[in-house]
Amino acid sequence: MKWPLRTRLSLENSTPGHRGYSLPKPAGEEAPPLKSAKRRGAKLQLPELSELDVVRHYTRLSHLNYSIDGGMYPLGSCTMKYNPRINELTSGDSGFTHLHPLAPTTLVQGALELMYRLENILAEVAGFSRVTLQPGAGAQGEYAGIRMIRACLEERGDARRKILIPQSAHGTNPATAVICGYEVVQIGARKDNGLVDLAEVEALTREGDVAGIMVTNPNTIGLFETEIKKLSDLIHERGGLVYCDGANMNAMLGITRPGDAGVDVMHFNMHKTFTTPHGGGGPGCGGAGVSKTLVPYLPSPTVERDFETGEFTFRTDNKHSIGKVKDFYGHFLMMVRAYTYIRELGPQGLRKAGQDAILLANYVRARLREHYDIAFDRACMHEVVFTDKRQLKHGVKTVDIAKRLIDEGFHPPTVYFPLIVSGAMMIEPTETESLSTVEAFCEAMIKIAKEAEEPDAFKKYFEGCPREMPFGRINETKAAKELKLTWKML
Ligand SMILES: Cc1ncc(COP(=O)(O)O)c(C=O)c1O
């Protein structure tokens, strides 16, 4: 079977003898005799294509990929917001890209100053005593944070066993706690408002074996934990420490500060809040801010400034430090990007970014609430969670809505997360989208909700969606379990 041209493999377009170049063979440079046919690749079936066919092939492939440059990603939690091009310009400067991580600090004063400044800005924005930029992702920031909590409690001679984590938390939270040697105690959400139940926390901390709580604020339902200060006070009273998953910090920018609410340590997801590429748990940046209590345990090295000479240095002799969590000092060019974004916006701009994120999420909430059931119908922060409750009555599920949306030209929202909401559709427009784009997204969602109410809706509109794409509905479970990446398998 021949696929349509736009989805064909390069091998299927191959014509024997076609080449991407027409240079004469260099004289006297014959290939050495074949030792083994396999090693020389004699039997490899490589595509033979002209230069133009190769260019078109890869350009076509790139167009098949949905991207933030091409359209909106209404993903909740993962946050796919636009990363301004100026970040690439500054981080691509050869003065930064040519730095060697082992260069003596006297030669890289500018880089150290940038880290120092960024740390200080983040500490100010989130209300912490200090910040480390070493972690390479949000999840690694969590790891550094919980290790610091552990080191602190061990030094107090009160190493405890348990960490409380709300059921709605991102999966990396319990994973982190377990990796750091804790037992996870899951706590629920209040039925009336989706927030952490203080009474439950009070009951669970009576025994004195709880090292702390990992709380996401705003939480993964997009709601602000209004009792965060009371929660921190309670945990501190009971001898524990408070971890805040600050992945959703963009909703708090310039509005409120977790450090002021008694949080002891919080990681930043720089990709969500400060427009760096995500890095998928790896080569990104996930700084962590700490209260005074945890400063001695910060990962090593720390960037220090001598206020007399003005010189910047790396300090490595802190005996309380949890040690390194990343090679060298983390991913420096991510820090350049975050610094660029922050300096470009300035304090007022950051606050406006936070406000716009909240405003747009509430716009979506208001536009879609007549058509979709809302998990907790109250003012939200940066994201809003709908369910498929109304559509299910007509045989249409969340996954059908998500796939149908692809044909309307939008990436689907985050689906079936958080787990505490059945059939969840979690939408985060982000502050980088214009109102007209967000409105177009809402119109597409409304159109789909209306389709779901028509007789025989599933067959008519949803079965096999997406229908406009080169590939329709695939069996995602099978694809994940039997991953086939070679052309032969096709
Ligand atoms: C709430 C929350 N916490 C933690 C993480 C983990 O961050 P990262 O993917 O940078 O490791 C994410 C993912 O973006 C998240 O949404």
Minimum CA distance residue for ligand 1 atom 5? 138
Minimum CA distance residue for ligand 1 atom 10? 138
The rounded average pLDDT for each run of 10 residues, N- to C-terminus, in the chain (490 residues) is 73 89 74 59 77 92 87 89 95 96 96 98 98 96 98 96 95 97 95 93 97 96 96 98 96 97 97 86 87 98 96 96 94 96 97 97 98 95 97 97 96 94 96 96 98 97 93 87 70
Phi, psi torsion values for 341, nearest 5 degrees? -60, -45
User: How far away, in angstroms, is 176 Cα from ligand 1 center?
Assistant: 11
**Using an 8 Å Cβ cutoff, are 277 and 247 in contact?**
no
Most informative mutation of 244, 249, 269, 278 for ligand 1 (most atoms within 8 A of CB):
269
As a three-state string, the secondary structure of 326-379 is CCECECHHHHHHHHHHHHHHHHHHHHHHHHHHHHHHHHHHHHHCCCCEECCCCC
User: What distance in Å separates the CA atoms of residue 283 and residue 359, rounded to the nearest whole number?
Assistant: 31
User: Is 284 touching ligand 1 by the criterion CB < 6 Å?
Assistant: yes
User: Is 138 touching ligand 1 by the criterion CB < 6 Å?
Assistant: yes
User: What distance in Å separates the CA atoms of residue 399 and residue 394, rounded to the nearest whole number?
Assistant: 14
User: How far away, in angstroms, is 78 Cα from ligand 1 center?
Assistant: 7
- Measured CA angle at 270 (ends 89, 336), to 5 deg: 30
Class at the top of the CATH hierarchy for domain 85-342:
alpha beta
User: What distance in Å separates the CA atoms of residue 263 and residue 232, rounded to the nearest whole number?
Assistant: 6
Pick from 340, 307, 274, 271: nearest CA to 88? 340
Query: What is this structure's pTM?
Result: 0.90
User: Is 331 touching ligand 1 by the criterion CB < 6 Å?
Assistant: no
User: Is 429 touching ligand 1 by the criterion CB < 6 Å?
Assistant: no
Pick from 271, 266, 284: nearest CA to 215? 266
The owner of tokens 């946050």 is 79
The owner of tokens 């692809």 is 406
User: What distance in Å separates the CA atoms of residue 273 and residue 137, rounded to the nearest whole number?
Assistant: 13
**Using an 8 Å Cβ cutoff, are 94 and 285 in contact?**
no
90, containing H or E segment:
helix 85-91
Minimum CA distance residue for ligand 1 atom 13? 78
User: What distance in Å separates the CA atoms of residue 13 and residue 20, rounded to the nearest whole number?
Assistant: 13
User: How far away, in angstroms, is 380 Cα from ligand 1 center?
Assistant: 19
User: What distance in Å separates the CA atoms of residue 241 and residue 214, rounded to the nearest whole number?
Assistant: 9
pLDDT at 489: 42
pLDDT at 3: 65
User: What distance in Å separates the CA atoms of residue 435 and residue 469, rounded to the nearest whole number?
Assistant: 27
**Using an 8 Å Cβ cutoff, are 376 and 436 in contact?**
no
> According to CATH, what is the number of the domain 354-481?
3.90.1150.10
295, containing H or E segment:
none
The domain locations on the chain are 1-18+48-63, 85-342, 354-481
Count of other CB atoms within 10 angstroms of residue 393: 10
pLDDT at 475: 87
Count of CA atoms in the C-beta half-sphere (13 A) of 172: 23
User: Is 170 touching ligand 1 by the criterion CB < 6 Å?
Assistant: yes
User: Is 172 touching ligand 1 by the criterion CB < 6 Å?
Assistant: yes
